[in-house]
Amino acid sequence: MTFFDTIVLMKKLLIPSLVIIAIFSICVRPTSAQSIPLFPAVSGGNLEIETTPEHPEPNQNIKISVASYSVDITKSTVSWYVNDSLVKSGVALQEIEINTGQPGSRLVVKVSIRNSDGVTAEGSLTLEPAEVDLYFEPITFTPPFYRGKSLGTKESSVKFIAISNLVNKSGAIIPDGQTYYKWSIDGSVDLNNSGVSKNSYLYKGKLISRPVEVSVEASSINSDEVAVKHKIFTTIDPITLFYENNPSLGILFNRSLSSDVNLISREVEINAVPYYFSKDEIVNLNYTWKVNGSTVVDSENANSIVFRRENGSGGNSKIALEILSPKNILQSTNSYLNLVYNENDEFNK
């Protein structure tokens, strides 16, 4: 095939003019995994090299595959080289698996395809694995000494924090002051909240609750290191738990009250603790307490109620509590408790 024939073929395939330049240099050097069109050095057609996953991390086993638009790979010998060392060769060998190595390492992957007619196509890909971790911190309420993690709820805010591990060619960690963070929500880039050193992102939940994909891309402003991380964030409904407020020990957070509570003393104070409501609204919540269907308390921040019994009397009281956020209308709970006192129970005077 002559040079003129090659140009005609390229026009038919609608290959961009930028790829035409690649006829003089086939060593394309991306900083992260991606699909790369390459024009062959000798003759043949253009190649596409891609990695799985798309953005490899350090010390990760990845797959690298090649496809050709004009050379029949299924009938060709495919040879793979990593840093100029042959790692695998065979007919129709369209894919290999390698390990990316330590942070800051550099791998030059070269593939050479040769068919029975002597037509050869070559391409290369440079990998510099980098990583970034993505954490989230819902800004919702949990009581003191709570050992679990706060969870996100509808209309609540959540703070995402990116911790990058980008290493330059000299082996030094690239600081945040030299790292650009690009944040995306469901694939849409938020440029206003992206930038150098912007390793955190504040997201406010919507009225229509659905899983949200949050992505961050960390890249060095002085070199080619790039790392990407995705996280799917889901929300739950807030909950309310009841606790006994003991006169001597205070609120017994170590044990929440079950649906049926036996009253063995003259009186008991029950505290309602809302979980996962927005922190900035926790003091503005409205509490509506009902006993046997009748409202007894309906006020702001009335998170406790006292129940007393007559000597020797028995029966039960059905307690219902509704908690509403006046600002975030989707944050609410309805909780129930059955207070039982037997007629023959002994109780403190």
Model pLDDT, residue 312: 62
Beta-bridge partners for 88 = 80
Model pLDDT, residue 73: 92
Q: List, run by run, the mean pLDDT of 10-residue segments along the chain (349 residues).
A: 40 34 29 34 60 89 90 92 95 95 88 90 89 95 89 95 90 92 96 96 86 95 89 94 90 87 82 95 93 82 81 79 93 93 57
Contact yes or no for 179/220 (Cβ under 8 A): yes
Model pLDDT, residue 190: 96
Model pLDDT, residue 215: 96
CATH class of 239-341: mainly beta
Model pLDDT, residue 11: 38
pTM flag (> 0.85): no
Q: What share of the chain is helix, strand, coil (3-state, %, to 5)?
A: 10, 50, 45
Model pLDDT, residue 71: 86
Query: Residue for token digits 């609540």?
Result: 156
Upper half-sphere CA count for residue 201 (Cβ side, 13 Å): 27
Model pLDDT, residue 205: 86
CATH code for 3-127? 2.60.40.10
**Which one-letter amino acid corresponds to residue 285?**
L
Asked if domains 3-127 and 131-233 share a fold, the reply is yes
> Domain 131-233 is classified in which CATH homologous superfamily?
Immunoglobulins (2.60.40.10)
| Residue spans per domain, the chain | 3-127, 131-233, 239-341
* DSSP secondary structure letters along 319-346: EEEEEE-SS-TT-EEEEEEEEEE-TT--
CA 47 to chain CA centroid, Å, is 33
